[in-house]
Amino acid sequence: MIRQTAEDKVTGLVKNIAKGRNPKPKIVITGCMVGMATRDDSGKYIKALKKRMPEVDEFLPLEEVGFDYPALRSDITHAWVPISNGCNNFCTFCVVPFTRGREISRPYKEILKEIEDLSKNGCKEITLLGQNVNSYGSDLVKSQKSYKLPNGKIVKPVIVKHLGKFRIPTLFPYLLEDVCNIKGIETVKFISSNPWDFSNELISTIAKNEKIDRNLHIAVQSGDDKILKKMNRWYTRSQYLNLLKKIKSKIPNAQISTDIIVGFPGEGEKEFQNTVKLSETANFAYAYISKYSDRPQTAAHKGLGDDVPYAEKEKRFRILDELINHRGSPRTAVH
Ligand code: SF4
């Protein structure tokens, strides 16, 4: 749903599955596209999906799937494990809150159980997944005073306040630690984390636990305060840079990667140069750079227009890509 090309691939896949098979298999589609379509009161999107994919028997909203279905895995040594779904942040460019709905955390015990089973079957590396992975648990915590971990220990949820603001309570540092303690697990990664929930406790947990991967992905999106505000990313460039400084002082071998959008509405040369300067200071290991594209439903689509010409977006993309991804040994970023 994030990109048109991904939607087109799904349509092609459905046609390939259905083609020439007798009897036709039952096809059920779920995920972002369906989430967006079922939340649209006008009925326009679901109608369009049905027209594009008449082979599909059922469009199932993501929240009806839950976390209960065992994943099909072909890789034995590494597993992606979803720990939360949806997002409450409403960045103005992003469709995720509309496609996946509000943030729902998977039960703590269930995550540990799945990883224990994976480990027994030979899995050594785990990547914990969530749209805002480091806010995990905010909906599980009934009282901000205490939470009982599956091992019986009573802990205080972490309230992130390092950006000068109080955020929701999170259980993510505890979960990370518990996953690292599972016998047989050698490496733990997580994605996607956001600056506003990158707490001091999370930094300490990573610092003291060698199993946690030192490649940390923390989306910045822009290096300009005016654009960050328009994006509804409620940190400033200096708060972001201070966070990186803090991480590097506690975890000296940390490598930071990021996401950047170029050509967001209102991004002129001055604003773009602020992103260039931030990238130089941050010394990112790599960045996923995307050219802003207008997505229906988002606040940017409704109120900000799309005023940066495509050729300019392309130029800015190349400048940043060259600066971040092609210094020394070239790396290819996904655009
Ligand atoms: S960009 Fe990330 S944090 Fe922002 S709304 Fe989308 S999923 Fe949520």
Predicted confidence (pLDDT) per residue in 161-214, tens digit: 766 667 788 999 999 999 999 999 999 999 989 998 999 999 999 999 999 999
Residue closest by Cα to atom 6 of ligand 1: 94
In terms of pLDDT, which residue wins out, 65 or 248? 248
pLDDT of residue 333: 46
Residue 97 near ligand 1, beta carbon < 6 Å: yes
Distance 41 CA to ligand 1 centre (A): 22
Distance 334 CA to ligand 1 centre (A): 18
pLDDT of residue 101: 80
Lowest mean pLDDT among 3-7, 96-100, 119-123: 3-7
Residue 2's pLDDT band (boundaries 50, 70, 90)? low
The 10 Å Cβ neighbour count of residue 310 is 12
Same fold, 66-213 and 221-236+255-335: yes
Residue 89 near ligand 1, beta carbon < 6 Å: yes
Whole-angstrom distance, CA of residue 158 vs CA of residue 176 = 13
Cα distances from 279 to residues 98, 168, 221, 284, 299, in angstroms, run 30, 29, 11, 7, 26
Lowest mean pLDDT among 113-122, 177-186, 324-333: 324-333
Instruction: Please choose from 91, 230, 288, 301 the residue to mutate so as to test ligand 1's pocket, defined by most ligand atoms within 8 A of CB.
Output: 91
Predicted confidence (pLDDT) per residue in 86-108, tens digit: 888 889 998 888 877 888 999 99
Whole-angstrom distance, CA of residue 68 vs CA of residue 106 = 9
Residue 228 near ligand 1, beta carbon < 6 Å: no
Distance 21 CA to ligand 1 centre (A): 39
Find, among 227, 157, 256, the residue nearest to 197 by Cα: 157
pLDDT of residue 220: 97
pLDDT of residue 180: 97
Q: What is the mean pLDDT of the chain?
A: 89
Predicted confidence (pLDDT) per residue in 58-87, tens digit: 998 877 776 667 777 888 899 999 999 888
Predicted confidence (pLDDT) per residue in 127-139, tens digit: 999 989 999 998 9
Query: β-strands 84-85, 104-105: how paired?
Result: antiparallel
pLDDT of residue 259: 96
Q: Which stretch of DSSP H or E encloses residue 179?
A: helix 172-180
Tell me the average pLDDT across 29-50: 83
| pTM of the full structure | 0.84
Lowest mean pLDDT among 4-13, 141-150, 243-252: 4-13
For a pLDDT cut of 90, what percent of the chain falls above it? Answer: 60
Atom number of ligand 1 nearest to Cα 221: 1
> 66-213 sits in which CATH class?
alpha beta
Contact 134, 190 (CB under 8 A): yes
Tell me the average pLDDT across 115-125: 95
Q: Is the pLDDT of residue 316 over 80?
A: yes
Query: Which region holds residue 97: left if phi is over 0, alpha if psi is between -120 and 50, else beta?
Result: alpha
Q: What residue spans define the domains of the chain?
A: 1-65, 66-213, 221-236+255-335
pLDDT of residue 335: 41
Query: Which region holds residue 101: left if phi is over 0, alpha if psi is between -120 and 50, else beta?
Result: left
In terms of pLDDT, which residue wins out, 264 or 2? 264
Best CATH choice for the domain 221-236+255-335 from the list 3.30.750.200, 1.20.1530.20, 3.40.630.30, 1.10.10.10:
3.30.750.200
Distance 130 CA to ligand 1 centre (A): 10
CA atoms within 13 A on the CB side of 201: 19
pLDDT of residue 90: 87
Q: Is the pLDDT of residue 329 over 60?
A: no
Atom number of ligand 1 nearest to Cα 97: 5
Cα distances from 198 to residues 129, 159, 172, 247, in angstroms, run 15, 10, 10, 9
Whole-angstrom distance, CA of residue 277 vs CA of residue 270 = 11
Residue 332's pLDDT band (boundaries 50, 70, 90)? very low
